[in-house]
Amino acid sequence: MSVPALNPPEFYRNLEEVLYLQPGTLKGGEALADLDVWDSVDVMAFIAMADEKYGVIIPEKRIPKTATVEDLAGLIEEFKK
């Protein structure tokens, strides 16, 4: 199975969906610590979304090393290789 290329606007929409955010909320530079919805349940939702939408398994231990929404996108890019 080939891994789809990461399209940032689509990634932000997918993340908004799993975090139950209004469409257009995320632009990439948002700090995860500033998102009211970013907690352990949302970490698991992100990991599941990465697997389902992009065919990428993200190790949970890598999440604490991310600071922004853009960093999450970077994890997908990193692990799809």
In order along its 81 residues, the chain shows pLDDT tens digits of 455 678 999 999 999 999 999 999 999 999 999 999 999 999 999 999 999 999 999 999 999 999 999 999 999 999 987
Give domain limits for the chain. Answer: 8-79
Round to whole Å and give the CA distance between 76 and 56. 6
Other Cβ atoms within 10 Å of 23 Cβ, number = 9
Q: How many CB atoms lie within 10 A of CB 39?
A: 11
CATH number of 8-79: 1.10.1200.10
What pLDDT does residue 4 have?
60
* pLDDT of res. 1: 46
Q: Model-level pTM?
A: 0.89
